[in-house]
């Protein structure tokens, strides 16, 4: 129906033989996209559970070291392997990291919290239960403010807030390694017992891009705090998404959980796919199962794993081998009968909180006079803020002139080559030198682009050396530039006549011809003034 309206409106005189071809192009362009009527008649609800690995040298309840990509089963204590008679000993660093995370997320910190056992039986969980905080977690009732883009322009951003239900400590499980060739599964317990902060978000989001934006903001906060490296590629931050759909005004629908998403991009795709999958099932008269699913990034779809466990299946019970965590602040005093390692001062942690991303963005706007959307790019792109500030310090030119080069030219090159800012072939010192040459009028803007491209290609010379070797200095002999302009005018009488008749856009063609004649060594602003003076 929608395709027929499109044909009648856009291609009313299309030959019959073109219609099937246009239909194929239409279907290819909108494959997987919901029909407009469908998206308006359903509401989607998304909540997240995020597990962030605590940045600590040792595990949550043992002294085993935490090391990414260590040889299998090389960082495992007797307690991690659940040998009889071993007992947990709390890691103070993990407590402080959880409190710091809770404070940064505007949570209320519980001065007394408990540990619980969550029972489930997998080969990579030797004890048959996970130590977590279910009844009384370390922090509750917070919020996370984030922004995301709703249009094609960076200025089209909206600010939203998601409620944080709780922040809790828990231990990680081991890892199952499946050998399909030998048809066997091996267990690596290096990860068993690693400290996690679980952040449970209320179902306040409605789409994949929104959820991805919230996760990116949380990732920046954790990295700023130093409580987690939050490297999703290394499994240091994993996301479970709870998704449901319902008709407006009706009760919430049955939810599914998509487990272990390890990138913000895959998170957005998994959520949006799952929303459309549920809508399609319901519109066809089916029912949604309360189940756990995984996301296959190659297929771009979610896949059923198992029925969803309920709380009754986990058989939560108090952890008998760990005393309560006791925290205090200026309004309370630490109990005298507890081990000092069990007592943490909330106020001292609050005083040590670093500058958070939202505060950094505001400071960048105030300090440098840049646009808010540019501050998001500087903060969100790892390493770009330091790069920018180094260029500003060395170049001594207005930051607004630097921003364009960073966002459009530098980031454009890095993203096209799948590089990070830290892998940039152009150092901040080189870009500062290049922009100084441009600002001082030593080179033209087209020459600056040419030198920038040479630096991107791995040139080892400095911008000044490149300009010297290729003699790219800006022509400053006014008489010489005027002679070249006059020659262009004399050779293009039709264009000159058009300009005199009022078609001023044609002058850009003449400017380009002057630039070509001078091999980009003339100042376009000066050339334009000379041409206008001579023609008009």
The DSSP output letter for 169 is: E
The DSSP output letter for 205 is: B
pLDDT score, position 313 = 79
Collapsing DSSP to helix, strand or coil, 160 comes out as strand
Note whether 267 and 212 are within 8 A (CB). Answer: yes
What is the tens place of the pLDDT at every residue in 330-351?
Answer: 887 777 776 666 678 999 999 9
CA distance 163 to 319: 28
pLDDT score, position 502 = 87
What is the tens place of the pLDDT at every residue in 8-22?
Answer: 443 434 444 444 444
DSSP string computed for 385-421: HHHHHHHHHHH-S-HHHHHHIIIIIIHHHHHHTT--G
Q: Which helix (H) or strand (E) holds 283?
A: helix 264-283
pLDDT score, position 412 = 92
pLDDT score, position 342 = 64
pLDDT score, position 516 = 86
Q: Which helix (H) or strand (E) holds 327?
A: strand 325-328
pLDDT score, position 459 = 76
Which residue, 452, 356, 341, is CA-closest to 404?
A: 452
CA distance 462 to 191: 46
pLDDT score, position 256 = 95
Which residue, 384, 378, 373, 467, is CA-closest to 426?
A: 384
CB atoms within 10 A of CB 329: 15
Which residue, 79, 43, 83, is CA-closest to 59?
A: 79
CA distance 486 to 336: 92
The DSSP output letter for 58 is: B
Which residue, 207, 211, 204, is CA-closest to 276?
A: 207
CA distance 214 to 207: 11
Look up the pTM and report it: 0.83
CA distance 430 to 462: 6
* pLDDT digit string (tens) for the chain, length 536 residues: 444 444 444 343 444 444 444 444 444 443 333 443 455 699 999 999 999 999 999 999 999 999 998 999 999 999 999 999 999 999 999 999 999 999 999 999 999 999 999 998 888 899 999 999 999 999 999 999 998 877 776 667 888 999 999 999 999 999 988 888 888 989 999 999 999 999 999 999 999 999 999 999 999 999 999 999 999 989 999 999 999 999 999 999 999 999 999 999 999 999 999 999 999 999 999 999 999 999 999 999 999 988 766 656 788 999 999 988 889 888 877 777 766 666 789 999 999 999 999 999 999 999 999 998 899 999 999 899 999 999 999 998 999 999 999 999 999 999 999 999 999 999 999 999 999 999 998 898 888 999 999 999 887 889 999 999 988 888 877 888 888 889 989 889 888 888 888 888 889 999 889 888 887 788 888 888 888 888 87
Note whether 287 and 255 are within 8 A (CB). Answer: no
Note whether 422 and 382 are within 8 A (CB). Answer: yes
pLDDT score, position 524 = 83
CA distance 106 to 184: 46
CA distance 199 to 168: 7
Which residue, 503, 527, 507, is CA-closest to 517?
A: 527
Cβ burial, residue 372 (10 Å; 0-12/13-18/19+): middle
DSSP string computed for 22-47: HHHHHHHHTTTPPPHHHHHS-EEEEE
492 phi, psi to nearest 5 deg? -140, 65
CA distance 45 to 271: 10
Collapsing DSSP to helix, strand or coil, 103 comes out as helix
pLDDT score, position 358 = 94
CA distance 45 to 106: 23
Residue 64 half-sphere exposure, CB side, CA atoms within 13 Å? 26
């Amino acid at each position: 129906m929608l395709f027929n309206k499109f044909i009648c409106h856009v291609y009313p005189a299309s030959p019959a033989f073109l219609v099937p071809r246009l239909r194929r192009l239409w279907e290819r362009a909108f494959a997987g996209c919901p029909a407009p009527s469908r998206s308006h008649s359903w509401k989607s609800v998304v909540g997240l559970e995020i597990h962030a690995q605590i940045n600590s040298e040792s595990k949550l309840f043992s002294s085993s070291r935490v090391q990414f990509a260590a040889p299998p089963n090389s960082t495992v204590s007797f307690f991690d392997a659940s040998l009889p008679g071993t007992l947990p000993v709390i890691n103070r660093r993990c407590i402080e990291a959880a409190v710091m995370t809770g404070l940064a997320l505007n949570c209320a910190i519980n001065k007394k919290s408990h540990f619980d056992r969550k029972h489930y039986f997998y080969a990579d969980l030797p004890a048959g239960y996970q130590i977590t905080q279910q009844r009384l977690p370390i922090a509750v009732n917070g919020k996370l403010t984030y922004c995301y883009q709703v249009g094609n322009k960076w200025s089209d951003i909206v600010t939203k807030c998601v409620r944080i239900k709780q922040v809790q400590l828990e231990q990680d499980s081991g890892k199952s390694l499946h050998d399909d060739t030998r048809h066997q599964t091996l267990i690596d317990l290096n990860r068993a017992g690693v400290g996690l902060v679980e952040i449970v978000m209320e179902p306040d989001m409605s789409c994949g891009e929104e959820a991805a934006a919230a996760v990116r903001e949380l990732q920046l906060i954790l990295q700023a705090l130093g409580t987690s490296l939050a490297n999703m590629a290394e499994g240091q931050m994993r996301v479970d998404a709870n998704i449901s759909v319902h008709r407006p005004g009706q009760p919430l629908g049955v939810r599914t959980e998509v487990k272990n998403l390890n990138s913000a991009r895959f998170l957005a795709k998994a959520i949006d796919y799952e929303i459309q999958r549920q809508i399609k099932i319901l519109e066809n008269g089916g029912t949604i199962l309360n189940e756990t699913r995984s996301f296959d990034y190659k297929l771009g779809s979610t896949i059923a794993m198992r029925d969803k466990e309920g709380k009754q299946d986990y058989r939560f019970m108090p952890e008998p081998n760990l005393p309560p965590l006791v925290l205090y602040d200026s309004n309370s005093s630490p109990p005298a009968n507890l081990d000092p390692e069990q007592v943490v001062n909330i106020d001292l942690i609050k005083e040590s909180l670093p500058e958070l991303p939202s505060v950094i963005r505001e400071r960048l706007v105030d300090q440098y006079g840049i646009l808010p959307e540019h501050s998001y790019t500087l903060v969100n792109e790892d390493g770009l803020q330091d790069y920018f500030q180094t260029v500003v310090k060395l170049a001594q030119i207005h930051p607004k002139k630097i921003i364009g080069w960073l966002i459009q030219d530098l980031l454009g090159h890095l993203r096209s080559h799948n590089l990070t800012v830290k892998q940039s072939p152009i150092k901040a010192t080189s870009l500062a030198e290049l922009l100084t040459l441009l600002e001082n009028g030593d080179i033209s803007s087209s020459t600056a682009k040419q030198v920038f491209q040479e630096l991107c290609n791995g040139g080892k010379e400095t911008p000044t050396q490149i300009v010297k070797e290729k003699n790219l200095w800006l022509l400053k002999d006014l008489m010489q530039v005027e002679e070249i302009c006059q020659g262009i005018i004399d050779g293009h009488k039709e264009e000159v006549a058009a300009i005199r008749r009022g078609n001023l856009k044609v002058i850009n063609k003449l400017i380009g011809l002057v630039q070509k004649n001078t091999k980009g060594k003339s100042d376009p602003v000066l050339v334009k003034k000379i041409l206008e003076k001579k023609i008009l």
